[in-house]
Structures are given as C-alpha cells and as structure tokens.
C-alpha cells in the first residue's frame, strides 16, 4: 500500500515538474514571439508612409527639381541636361543601329523603321561578353574589341535591312556609366563603375573613343546620340505613345527622366532648341529628405555601403537593396528572439545573400503552408524546418519593406507630375503617360500594384483617370536606335 502511495506521489511530482517545464517552455516561447513581434511592430511603425507623409515627399521632390534646374550642384537631384531636344515621333524611316554598353556584356542592335505605317519593320540583336582583361586594360583595346564586334554584326546585315543610297550608318550609343555630356553626341567619362578600371578613359570623350575605333575597323558609321537607359526608355515610350512625358526605371537601380520646357531651365545657357523641349535626366536615386521614413536597418545598410550618404532614395526603393533590408530585419529577429532557433544561421549573416527576386517569390507565396517561403529559407539561407508561424512572420517583413518602397516610388512620380503641373484637374483631359521599365516593376507584382494604387490615392479619382503607367521594354536597345533616328544628320534633308 505504502509502495503504491509512493509511486503515486512520484508520478504526481513528475507530472507537476512536467507541467512546470511545459509552462516555462510556453512562457519562454511566448516571450520569444513577443520579442519578434516587437521588432515587426517597430519596423511597421518606422516604415509607415501614410498619404500626408507621401505628399511631403512629393513636394520635396518637386522643390529639388526646381533647385537642380536653377544651378549645377544646387540640388540632391542631378537634373542633368541630356541634349536630347527631340524624341521619336513615329515618322522615322530607315536603318539605324544601337550599342548598349552597361556592364560586363554589351549588345548591338539594328532596326529598320518604316515610318507611321510600317513602324518597326524588323529588328535584330546580339549580345557579346567582354573578356575580363579588357575591363582593366587600355582604352584602345576595349573600344577596338567593341568596334570589331559591331563591324562583324554589320557584315551580317540581311536583305530585310535597307540603308538609303549615299547615306552613312547611324548609331545610338547607350553608355550606362557617369558621363558629363556636352552635346547630343559627346560626353566625357567621369568615372568607371561595375568592375571597369581604365584610368586613361576617365576625362576622355567616349564617343570620340568609339568613333576612332570604328575608323580603325574601316566601318563608316556615325554616333548621332549618346544616351543612358532611362532616356532610351523615354524615347521608346514616346515612339509607341505620343502622350509619354516621363520614364522611370525600377530595376536593380532606379532613375527617372522627363520632358521639360527648355525656357524653364535657368542653368541652360545655349540657344533654345527648335522643339522648345529638353529631356532632363533626373538621377533621382540620390534624392533624400527628412520626410523619408528611415529605419535603423536603412541607416546601417547605408553606413556599410560603398557610397555612404549617397543614393538614399535608391536604397529604399530599388531591387538592389530590398532583399538586403529584409535580411537585416530577420537577422535582428534571430539575435533578439531566436527566430530560427538558438543558433544564428551562418548564411543569414552574409550581406546581400537574400536577393529581391527571392523576397518576391516568398512574398507572392499563396500556398496554405507557405511552402515556397520554407524552400527559399532552406535553399538561400540554409534554414530548415521552419514553422508556419515563422514563415508568416517572414512574409510580413517582406510586405512592409516592399510596400514602403512602392509607396515612396509613387511619391517620386507624383513629385514629377507636380513639377509638370499634371497633378491637378485640367479642362483639356489630356492623357499623361509614364513609360516604366525594370525587372522590379515588371516582375514584383505586389510592388507594382502597390505603386499604382498609391499614385491613384495621391492624385485622386479625377486626375488619376487620365494618368497611365505603361511598361516599355528595352529602352537601352531600341530606344537608343530611335534616338539615333530622331537626331539623324539627314533630318534637314528630309524636311
């Protein structure tokens, strides 16, 4: 009898210990989730972009635009005069080439334009890799390599492409490196980026460098337009739709360009162009304002970047950085709340390992158990066996970061429309079209839908009914060829 009582007492004690341990574990778990939720709530509060704040951002963009047009260096925005004073009208005819140099590969493209009726009759494109040694060699070696590839491409011109009798081939040159432009077809290199390092090219006219290389190849071709990819997107957009007034790139990086009245540019000291217009390259990635909702994660990312204090707007809204912000938030949750267990996963400490395409796939996961989120955490960060609750928390972080970026991008567009006087109701009911390019906008659906709904919210129903955002692909390719046509040396002869 006594034995039974003792056993019962031991069992009761063990049960009590078990209950206590369970209660303690549950309490520890609750505290852990409480700490993770506190990080999430803090992020949500500091990323908040309500309409009033977005209007302040839009106003600040418009003010900076005015300042940048008034004087060089007078604004955080570059507001660079592009010397593009005429955009394609759709009337262009003939054969034109484009060269797109923006990284370790370059593209050559040709397009046959058939005027108002024929439009783009035919186009062909080829991509060529630049050998690594040429990226740090001599200027002549690099441009000779490019010119030789272009000459080979020209030699394969088929019967569908027709150069008019007695005419020189003309080329639009997309050069996506910092350049100080002095005319539509000349500009000196300020500095190389993206792994290139050829000192002798810095300060040289890149069009003259390319033209000399073309001469050495015996290729009779004239560079008629030097542009960047944003202005190319604007040109391609205008060719398809005459109501296009601005272009925005939302991809790895971000930028905007728009059509300004030349007489509204105080820093322009040349003759007013016949068209009365001038395309402005905003370089809006460098925008910053006290109204931007910055978090500790943004400040740390900026401080550790290659360009601290610069490109603040780009670091909040572009594809290069969104995934990295999410990684930093998850790392803090792991450090403070053991989100992925007691040990911090080693890969979670690696900057930029979580890319925005990974973030997008997790954010768009609609499966009941969020299996894509689980798979990405495992494949990219080496984190296995995550619970549904953890996966939901990861999606919530993606949602806050992506939607803040999209809303701030919409505020930037609103600022441009404000500068153009297109943010208020107008009696003429004229359409306002923005040409958009970039993988972030094209492939991250939640981002693009949030951007569009935010712009509608800011503009109001009446104005937003006449504002259209259109996807305009390949500005750096076909856009450059169209600008070569719009600035052809033969235009006067055709009038």
Query: Residue 200's closest CA among 210, 189, 187?
Result: 189
CA distance 397 to 317: 15
215 is catalytic: no
Chain-centroid distance of CA 429 in Å reads: 30
242 among known catalytic residues: no
User: How many helices and strands in the chain, by DSSP H and E?
Assistant: 17, 13
Structure tokens at 289: 């304002």
Catalytic one of 100, 144, 205, 229: 229
Write down the residue that tokens 């009365």 correspond to.
Answer: 276
- Find the catalytic residue in 176, 211, 318, 448: 176
Catalytic residue at 107? yes
User: Which residue is catalytic, options 85, 107, 238, 365?
Assistant: 107
Please say whether the beta carbons of 238 and 88 come within 8 A: yes
- Residue by residue, DSSP assigns 90-135 as S--EEEEEEEEESSSEEEEEEEEEEHHHH-EEEEEEEEEEPPGGGG
Q: Say if residues 477 and 125 touch (Cβ distance below 8 Å).
A: yes
Give CA–CA dist 137/130, Å, rounded. Answer: 12
Alpha-carbon distance 413 to 348, whole Å?
A: 34
Residue 217 DSSP SS3: coil
Give the contacts of 413 (CB within 8 A, at least 6 positions apart).
246, 248, 256, 434, 451, 455
Give the catalytic positions in this structure: 107, 176, 229
């Amino acid at each position: 009898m006594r034995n039974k009582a003792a056993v019962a007492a031991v069992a009761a004690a063990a049960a009590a210990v078990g209950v206590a341990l369970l209660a303690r574990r549950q309490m520890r778990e609750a505290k852990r989730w409480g700490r993770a939720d506190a990080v999430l709530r803090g992020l949500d509060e500091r990323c908040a972009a309500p309409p009033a704040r977005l209007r302040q951002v839009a106003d600040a963009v418009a003010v900076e635009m005015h300042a940048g047009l008034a004087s060089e260096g007078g604004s955080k925005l570059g507001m660079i005069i592009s010397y593009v004073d005429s955009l394609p009208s759709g009337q262009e005819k003939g054969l034109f080439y484009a060269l797109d140099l923006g990284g370790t590969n370059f593209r050559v493209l040709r397009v046959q334009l058939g005027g108002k009726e024929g439009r783009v009759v035919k186009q062909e494109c080829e991509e060529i890799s630049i050998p690594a040694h040429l990226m740090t060699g001599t200027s002549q070696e690099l441009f000779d390599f490019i010119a030789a590839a272009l000459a080979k491409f020209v030699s394969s011109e088929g019967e569908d492409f027709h150069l008019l009798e007695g005419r020189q081939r003309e080329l639009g040159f997309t050069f996506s490196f910092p350049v100080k432009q002095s005319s539509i077809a000349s500009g000196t290199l300020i500095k190389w980026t993206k792994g290139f390092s050829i000192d002798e090219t810095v300060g040289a006219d890149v069009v003259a460098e390319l033209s000399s290389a073309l001469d050495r190849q015996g290729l009779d071709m004239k560079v008629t337009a030097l542009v960047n990819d944003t202005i190319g997107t604007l040109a391609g957009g205008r060719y398809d739709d005459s109501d296009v007034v601005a272009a925005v790139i939302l991809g790895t990086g971000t930028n905007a360009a728009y059509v300004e009245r030349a007489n509204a540019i105080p820093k322009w000291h040349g003759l007013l162009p016949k068209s009365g217009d001038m395309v402005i390259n905003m370089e809006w990635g460098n925008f910053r304002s006290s109204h931007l909702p910055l978090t500790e994660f943004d400040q740390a990312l900026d401080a550790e970047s290659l360009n601290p204090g610069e490109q603040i707007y780009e670091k909040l809204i572009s594809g290069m950085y969104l995934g990295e912000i999410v990684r930093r938030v998850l790392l803090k949750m792991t450090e403070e709340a053991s989100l992925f267990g007691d040990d911090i996963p080693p890969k979670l400490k690696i900057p930029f390992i979580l890319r925005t395409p990974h973030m997008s796939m997790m954010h768009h996961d609609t499966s009941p158990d969020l299996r894509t989120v689980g798979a990405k955490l495992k494949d990219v960060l080496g984190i296995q066996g995550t619970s549904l609750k953890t996966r939901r928390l990861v999606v919530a972080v993606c949602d806050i970061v992506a939607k803040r970026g999209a809303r701030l991008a919409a505020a930037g567009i609103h600022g441009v429309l404000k500068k153009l006087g297109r943010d208020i109701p107008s009696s003429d009911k004229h359409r306002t079209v923005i040409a958009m390019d970039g993988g972030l906008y094209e492939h991250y659906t939640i981002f693009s839908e949030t951007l569009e709904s935010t712009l509608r919210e800011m503009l109001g129903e009446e104005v937003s009914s006449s504002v259209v955002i259109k996807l305009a692909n390949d500005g750096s390719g076909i856009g450059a060829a169209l600008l070569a046509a719009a600035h052809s040396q033969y235009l006067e002869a055709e009038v």
